[in-house]
Amino acid sequence: MNRPSTTTLPEVVAHYEEANESERLRQGEGQLELARTQEILTRYLPPPPAVILDVGGGAGIYALWLADMGYAVHLIDPTPKHVAQARAASQQAARPLAGAELGDARALQWADASADVVLLLGPLYHLPERADRVQALREAGRVVRPGGLIVAAAISRFASVLDGLFSGFLDDPAFVRIAEQDVHSGQHRNPDQHPGYFTTAYLHHPAELGDEVIEAGLHPIATLPVEGVGCLLQNFKEHWQDPERRTRLLETLRWLEGEPSLLGVGGHLLAIARKS
């Protein structure tokens, strides 16, 4: 088939070349994002040894976890640093990745119906144009087998405002302008390249994410919050370090994850879908 010419935004690649993405999910509130994403994935994934494409898989945190469970995991990412990190970590793993390659979510170099699962845990929020996001979802649907699973992550439309309120960023007029644009259009921009204000991204309204899944020809199963109201904790470290409080926090998030009025509260959303 003819595939479109695709390029990754240079500021996005530059951001991840500088950021320590390999450690982000192992510290602070990233630990909640990691734990919740893993919990949700385990509910829907087929049993190993299924073939999983981890598209936009970063440094391989999820890919290596899945490989260790017995899945055949192929990591694909547009950032050379991430692919190098994933390969290095794979070489040290008891169960290595099946592959780690450079690639773009909008034009996967995989045959039709050749995977059981496609994870898009990063690509959608670095594709500012809706047509590109739908194309990435369509590509996931193309390469997955009939009945196969697609899991796509998005950043909540309200993530910047919530982060600004609880981190004090709203004291900075430059961040106020960023957050206001996020709420009104979802188009996150960081014109001054402030290292703490993320890079070019698109922030989804919860209902919009489901609409894009449908437009891509996929069958939506659920849209779930990842961190949810857990992002409101001012003493997150104390909760997370205490096993009982951590268990209670995760249980509470499960209670609330099906409530539509709370879907936008938190940092990330996961859309779960299948190919008909």
What tens digit of pLDDT does each residue of 254-269 get? Answer: 999 999 999 999 999 9
Length of the chain: 276
Q: Sorting pLDDT into bands at 50, 70 and 90, what band is 8?
A: confident
pLDDT at 81 over 90: yes
pLDDT at 4 over 80: no
pLDDT at 10 over 90: no
Question: Which tokens belong to 51?
Answer: 């073939």
Q: What are phi and psi of 197, to 5 degrees?
A: -110, 20
pLDDT in tens, 125-166: 999 999 999 999 999 999 999 999 999 999 999 999 999 998
DSSP 99-132: EEEE--TTS--S-TT-EEEEEESSGGGG--SHHH
Q: Sorting pLDDT into bands at 50, 70 and 90, what band is 3?
A: very low
Q: Are 73 and 116 in contact (CB under 8 A)?
A: no
Q: What is the mean pLDDT of residues 214-230?
A: 97
Q: What is the mean pLDDT of residues 1-15?
A: 68
Q: Are 190 and 200 in contact (CB under 8 A)?
A: yes
- Residues of the chain with pLDDT > 70: what percent? 98
Q: Sorting pLDDT into bands at 50, 70 and 90, what band is 88?
A: very high
Q: Sorting pLDDT into bands at 50, 70 and 90, what band is 2?
A: very low
The number of beta carbons lying within 10 Å of the beta carbon of residue 255 is 9
Classify burial at 247, counting beta carbons within 10 Å of its beta carbon; exposed 0-12, middle 13-18, buried 19 or more. exposed
Q: Where do the domains of the chain lie, and which CATH numbers do they carry?
A: 10-157+204-274 (3.40.50.150)
pLDDT at 6 over 80: no
Sequence-ordered list of residues with C-beta below 8 angstroms from that of 172, at least 6 positions apart, any chain: none
| Integer angstrom CA distances of residue 30 from 185, 202, 207, 230 | 26, 19, 24, 11
As a whole number, the mean pLDDT across the chain is 94
Q: Sorting pLDDT into bands at 50, 70 and 90, what band is 9?
A: confident
What number of CA atoms fall less than 13 Å from residue 197's CA on the CB side? 22
What number of CA atoms fall less than 13 Å from residue 54's CA on the CB side? 27
pLDDT in tens, 58-79: 999 999 999 999 999 999 999 9
b/e code 214-233 from CB counts within 10 Å (16+ = b): eebebebeebbbbbbbbbeb
The number of beta carbons lying within 10 Å of the beta carbon of residue 67 is 24
- Strand ranges (E), 179-240: 187-188, 201-204, 219-225
Q: What is the pLDDT of residue 272?
A: 98
| 191 torsion bin: left (phi>0), alpha (psi -120 to 50), beta (else) | alpha
pTM for this one? 0.95
pLDDT at 5 over 60: no
Query: CA torsion, points 149, 155, 157, 163, in degrees to nearest 10?
Result: 150
Sequence-ordered list of residues with C-beta below 8 angstroms from that of 191, at least 6 positions apart, any chain: none
Q: What is the mean pLDDT of residues 37-52?
A: 98
Q: What are phi and psi of 90, to 5 degrees?
A: -65, -35
Q: What is the mean pLDDT of residues 188-212?
A: 94
